[in-house]
Amino acid sequence: MKKILLSLVFLISFIGNSQILDPVKWKSKVVQKSDTEFELVMEAAIDTDWHMYSQFTPDGGAQPLVFTFKGSGKDFKLVGKTKESQYKKTFNDIFEVDEYYFSKKATFTQLIKVTNPNLKEIKVLLEGQSCIEGKCIQEEDNLTFKLPAIKVVEKVEEVVKEEPIEAAVPVEVASNDIASTDLTTANVSKTKETAETNDAATANEPENEEKKGLWTIFFLAFVGGFAALLTPCVFPMIPMTVSFFTKQSKTKAAGIRNAIIYGLSIVIIYLLLGVLVSLVFGADALNALSTNVWFNIIFFVLLLVFAASFLGAFEIMLPNKWANKVDSQADRGGLLGIFFMALALAIVSFSCTGPIVGTLLVQAAAGGSQIGPIVGMLGFSLAIALPFALFAAFPGWMNSLPKSGGWLNTVKVSLGFLELALAFKFLSNADLVLQAHWLEREVFLAIWIVIFAAWALYLFGKLTLPHDSPLSHISVGRLFLALLVSFFTVYLIPGLWGAPLKLISGFPPPMTYSESPNGVGYKFEGNVGEISALPEHAHKGPHGIVAFHDYEQGLAYAKEVGKPILLDFTGYACVNCRKMEDFVWSTPEILPMLKEEFVLISLYVDSKAELPKADQYVSPETGKEIVTVGNKWSDYQITRYQNNAQPYYIILDDDGKDLSKPVGYSPDIEEYKAWLEKGLTAFKK
């Protein structure tokens, strides 16, 4: 009986480590819209606890979902971009970027216009990655859409075709597992039985995420409006405007009413601006802003201009004739006159409010929500309008207001330094999308250190700018702000030496996108058993571990030095792989073993480097075309181990024979250490 039970345990363990995971099932359909226009609909049913990335997830973390429509431009044209259902948003503290992903269900639609009347079918290639806690898979596959005969239809009709393939092997997940945020699409395997998902659950969660994002936009915009209130163009207008309403009105109640109408007019004016931005761009364009290279470069230049204006290089002003025309209309009196007074304030104060409004609109638009700019302008305008209404209702409060003076220009200049720092975030976004490595982490931090150091010197009175008043002393408030900026500047400096800088997570490029991954000034110090010079074909892996990225080259080196191999199936966009490297491999219990006892072979299954034509082939196991280095290592993992999840670790001898049972994501340091030691013992025997 004991032998039977042991055999069953072994069999279950073997199956658990050898299964081909298939967490995403796809159903496709074609919807005919007109004689030549069709809508390709792709519905993904995602297994419980698995996730799949949006095609709009920002670069610098996981790989986004990519659709390739074969024959596009020849037999048919794409009308617009591929649309998708609402995604969720979360911050990835490993890659330090936001990630957009789906759980349970996702729908993608692409409108096409057929130009070849003989076209019978369209093939779509999907590429990406799907993950669960501790497991990631990298795949690519095709969906085939059978087109109906191209003819005139009186109404929209659907022609549904479900793509058949055998169902996925169930995945068992421990109850305390938490789904990874590193998920792109991947498994585009098809099945006769389309998994049913809970529509209500998937609808409510994205709505909650969007509400949180809109509240953040509102709060930041309100703070921006308050900052604009403290600029030289707006602050002096408060007592002047309130005095006008209280003195010109026949009664106190009428004065308060007119001031409230004035404040509401300000809100309406800025809301109209937010609506205009939303209508001009549209939802699709706003979704693309965060990762579009040209948008980010344009925003970078725009914020540089705003910063230069705040620092005193020039004034951004609307034409004077606009202000004169509006001001003349304000003399009409009544509600219309009050509205034109508010419009006059918006135009006259544009040199101070324009850069702030522009920055808020850029940030809100880049968030991808079509109503983001509207919410942003609501928050900004409320902060501007509230003081006029409150001080009209309680004119005695104006006695507590500080007098206008040079401090207003200090606020304006400080906003200029913040605009300048924020501008480089947009340039960094463009660089990450291009993977050009122009603005890596060290360069970005160096720029920020210089900007904030200059701001601190300005606040201490050591730098003066064109519109500054003579400064005999600095106020206590200015001193505190100078100290705060100085503290922040000092905090940034260790980032050059590899400090994580968690206070600004998401702003600088991730640690992996670095000119010097070990920090500026790092020098190799050889320890006993450590290789000080890289062998031929080797690379410096995480934490200075010598690593090979080609299996045959690593195997040859292992045979040469007589060491066992740690075979590591990994990915550039694999969060759990980075977690293992950052929190397990880096520990004193594990790192010396990896450096001294093993030869590390890391095979990146998502590498897009193209194989030489002579080395490309069709996999006998999966039937897929193997054209990239990543395809090759993914196919090798599937063919040899019947597994397609990453991370995936195996210990081999120097002849390439397995010495251990494969393991995946193993955050328990002691368990991972015991597994490594068991492999070492087997090698020595």
pLDDT tier for residue 653 given thresholds of 50, 70 and 90: very high
Q: What integer pLDDT is reported at residue 258 of this predicted model? A: 77
Domains (range + CATH), the chain: 23-197 (2.60.40.1250), 212-405 (no CATH), 440-520 (no CATH), 538-684 (3.40.30.10)
Q: Does pLDDT of 527 surpass 50?
A: no
pLDDT tier for residue 201 given thresholds of 50, 70 and 90: very low
pLDDT, tens digit (0-9, with 9 covering 90-100), for 134-150: 677 776 778 888 888 76
Q: Is the dihedral of CA 35, 39, 40, 42 positive or negative?
A: negative
Pairing of strands 645-646, 135-146: antiparallel
Exposure b/e, 524-534, CB count within 10 A at least 16 = b:
eeeeeeeeeee
pLDDT, tens digit (0-9, with 9 covering 90-100), for 457-466: 999 988 888 8
Residue 39: enclosing H or E segment and its boundaries? strand 37-46
Please name every residue paired with 122 in a beta bridge, in sequence order, or none if there are none.
Answer: 145
- Greater confidence (129 vs 236) lies with 129
* 624's tokens: 């897929």
Q: What integer pLDDT is reported at residue 5 of this predicted model? A: 47
CB atoms within 10 A of CB 520: 14
How far, rounded to the nearest angstrom, does the alpha carbon of residue 254 sit from its chain's CA centroid? Answer: 50
The overall average pLDDT reported for the chain is 74
- Rounded-to-integer distance, Cα 248 and Cα 495, Å: 58
pLDDT tier for residue 406 given thresholds of 50, 70 and 90: low
CA distances from 239 to 123, 344, 387, 542, 652 (A): 67, 16, 10, 61, 79
Burial class (CB in 10 A: 0-12, 13-18, 19+), 615: exposed
pLDDT, tens digit (0-9, with 9 covering 90-100), for 324-383: 665 565 555 567 767 777 776 676 666 566 666 666 666 655 554 557 677 878 888 888
Count CA atoms closer than 13 A to 668's CA, side-chain side. Answer: 5
pLDDT, tens digit (0-9, with 9 covering 90-100), for 559-584: 999 999 999 998 765 667 777 887 78
The secondary structure of residue 550, as a DSSP letter, is S
3-state helix, strand, coil in the chain (%, to 5): 45, 20, 35
Q: Cβ distance 437 to 327 under 8 Å?
A: no
The lowest-confidence range among 166-170, 394-398, 570-574 is 166-170
CA distances from 528 to 215, 525, 592, 597, 627 (A): 55, 10, 10, 11, 41
* 152's tokens: 């005139």
Residue 599: enclosing H or E segment and its boundaries? strand 599-604
C-alpha closest to that of 30 among 98, 93, 94, 76: 76
- Rounded-to-integer distance, Cα 262 and Cα 258, Å: 6
* Long-range pairs, 227-231, Cβ under 8 A, ≥24: 227/356, 227/411, 227/415, 228/349, 228/352, 228/353, 228/356, 228/357, 228/380, 228/383, 228/384, 229/383, 229/384, 229/387, 230/408, 230/411, 231/349, 231/352, 231/353, 231/408, 231/411, 231/412, 231/415
3-state secondary structure of 98: strand
* 80's tokens: 């617009």
pLDDT, tens digit (0-9, with 9 covering 90-100), for 528-542: 444 457 888 898 877
The lowest-confidence range among 91-105, 336-350, 547-561, 615-629 is 336-350
